Amino acid sequence: MYNYEKLKKEIRQIRKKLDDLIADGANTDQIYEISVELDKKFVELMEIEKN
């Protein structure tokens, strides 16, 4: 399982990537793909916080 701080850093990086894609007018498939990845990381983070 990921280290809590490492996971938070990954979430920030994915969020920046998503923001950049949106700003660049990326297609919805790309935005959706990154959004799903971000959601998965948030679920992992919640699992760690729960324990």
| Type of residue found at 51 | N
Q: How far apart are alpha carbons 45 and 32 in whole angstroms?
A: 20
Whole-model pTM: value is 0.80
Could you tell me which residues come within 8 angstroms of residue 14 by beta carbon, excluding any fewer than 6 positions away?
34, 37, 38, 41
Q: How far apart are alpha carbons 41 and 32 in whole angstroms?
A: 14
> What is the domain count for the chain?
1
What phi and psi values does residue 20 have, to the nearest 5 degrees?
-65, -40
Res 26: pLDDT: 87
pLDDT digits (tens, 9 = 90+) for 16-25: 999 999 999 9
Residue ranges, the chain, pLDDT below 70:
1-2
Residue-number span of the structural domain to which 45 is assigned: 4-50
